[in-house]
Structure 1
Amino acid sequence: MASSKPFLGLLLSVACLLQVLLAAANPPPPSCDKSDEELRFMFSQWMAKYSKHYSCPQEQEKRFQVWKDNTNFIGAYRSQTVPSSGVGGFAPQTITTSSVGINRFGDLTVSEFVDQFTGANNTAFKTPPPSPLSPHSWQPCCVDWRSSGAVTGVKNQGPCSSCWAFSAAAAIEGLHKIKTGELVSLSEQVMLDCDTGSNGCNGGHSDSAFNLVASRGGITSEEKYPYTGVKGSCDVGKLLFDHSASLSGFSAVPPNDERQLALAVARQPVTVYIDASTREFMFYKGGLYRGPCSPSTVNHAVTIVGYCEGFGGDKYWIAKNSWSNDWGDQGYVYLAKDVWWPQGTCGLATSPFYPTA
């Protein structure tokens, strides 16, 4: 009988080769191949970059462990990204999913992040009936209000759940630029201080903010009423009389209808509510974001400032966020458009609003 040793040797060689290939395809998270000393040095650099200071050594150690866990997640997420197979003869591209990266939220757990940096309450406040736009209305294939100069720079709400005010201000800024040709950075703080339909840094409603501005006839500028990141006393004089942009009301886009949302965005920036309660969204760095997220439970307000097709032919919405330009793609997130579920990616179609002149 012929010896089976050569055959067994071949099998072992193949098995070893497969292990090498699998290890190359799935490299360990960054902290797995770095010493504790190296990781602590990296953490100290991250602290310096974001001016982080902790009350005591115990708190710093706690935050280091959270940061290390988040870097492990980021390393594992990157290792799972696979190139697309290419479409229509074009070369494959690794853009079929979003990328993640460490940012200013690195020392927070997901629950801490959600508590401090989201804050949208999508319970309607004096919301008018939805106003459908004609399906035969003009609609370009791509819209980007940034290229028209109708979008101010990305702002930073800080650890105050005031995204609702930032989303509303961005939509009003866009409308004012389209209507008058003048781009003015408007005051989120006046909404934070004066909107009794919202709860300041404990969350609020973008539609309530629109209602406040419309009922007073306009809104003052950020220069005249700067953002502090805490709810203060309402400056009634600036609320009532010192206006840099006017507003007559606001309209609701028919819910769960991305076609109607696109018709509205083709005319002006629109506020939407989304679910931002995942670590993938927390550390989003760029690319097309499809999830994970909930389409039915939303907690964060952003402003849709455009849409188009790209990323290998995929459709996307351009959403302006309020977590500074260090987060995401220079402060923006590209959300998958025209998905098969009616609420849209992360629930963006559940309750959109836009201001009216």
Structure 2
Amino acid sequence: MRIRLLLLATVFWVGTGFSAPAKGQQLIVSGDPEHVHPQLGAYVEEIVPGEEREYAVEVSNPTEKDITALLYMADAIPALGGGMDFTLPNDPDLSSAAWYTTPDRPITVRAGETERFTVNMRIPDSVQPGQYVSVIGVYDDQDHTVEVSDDTQARFVTHVVRKTGLQVVLNFKLDEAKPPQAVPHAAVYAKENEKAFLSILLMNEGGSLSKPEMTVEVKRQDEGKPVLELKTRFDSIYAGTVAQYRAELSRPLAPGAYLAEVITNVNGQMEQKVLPFEVAGEEESTRWGTASSGEVIQVAEDGSPLPAPWLGLHRIYLYAGLLLLIVIVTWRRKRADKRRSREPR
């Protein structure tokens, strides 16, 4: 119960999302073409516990200025709104990023040149069956700012983080690993800049990458007719992580208590949960207009959060909340693995 309460609290911290790294990354990271998977563009290998590995990366600078950045090891995580992302340098290493023995270090790549680097890893002596995805990343946040305006023409300056990286996908006895999951965990409703959003969080406590399909039907608790329906799919929920789907509604929901019936399908494995959420009443709701209880709202996926002045100030807290979710899921997964390993066979 304590874990569930922690998860629920964290949901509200991250329900409105956080700013993703900006586009326009100047450095280019690539791997050894003889060993990189041609379709995935990543190192993909089977591992043996206790082995040591070495990975080569090339960092190219196609610009006309020298660039100094940080070469570091990160864990792969789902991007908010879908897609792939990875942790920042100061985030804790929760999965295979902790296996690297090469420390993070600053690098300088001169204009128009390419530098080659190697990083080393030692596989732990004891590894549970599953898939482990890390990223050899490059992080550059030197004095990049951008001016952004929202729908109300308010202008503000936010710090730009540029990062890029190369995935390292390590598989160990995948046929014995726990099947991938997409367990519905929470539904959160929020309003930003006079727009309404519904977020659904899914947890993957399985042993490999999950690519679920999801359908959501929302009803008022006191009525049987649906007021909102959506259908989507996720492409990258890594083992032991949490993914957030965020949809922008065509109009806000009326104040009251709601139930979101969420159904996920991963390789034919169905998960179904009914998640309650509240829509608080506001004086401005009459100015916005609301959806009647008998009207179905069609929604469109919002791949990234809307810019807002408060987001730049609280980005670190929102991001930390998502990381806390991942920490808790990882801890629960490891505890379950230990229990299974102690069971007599």
TM-score clears 0.5: no
Larger helix percent: 1
Instruction: Name which one, 1 or 2, has greater alpha-carbon Rg.
Output: 1
Question: Whose strand proportion is higher, 1 or 2?
Answer: 2
> TM-score, normalization: structure 2?
0.23
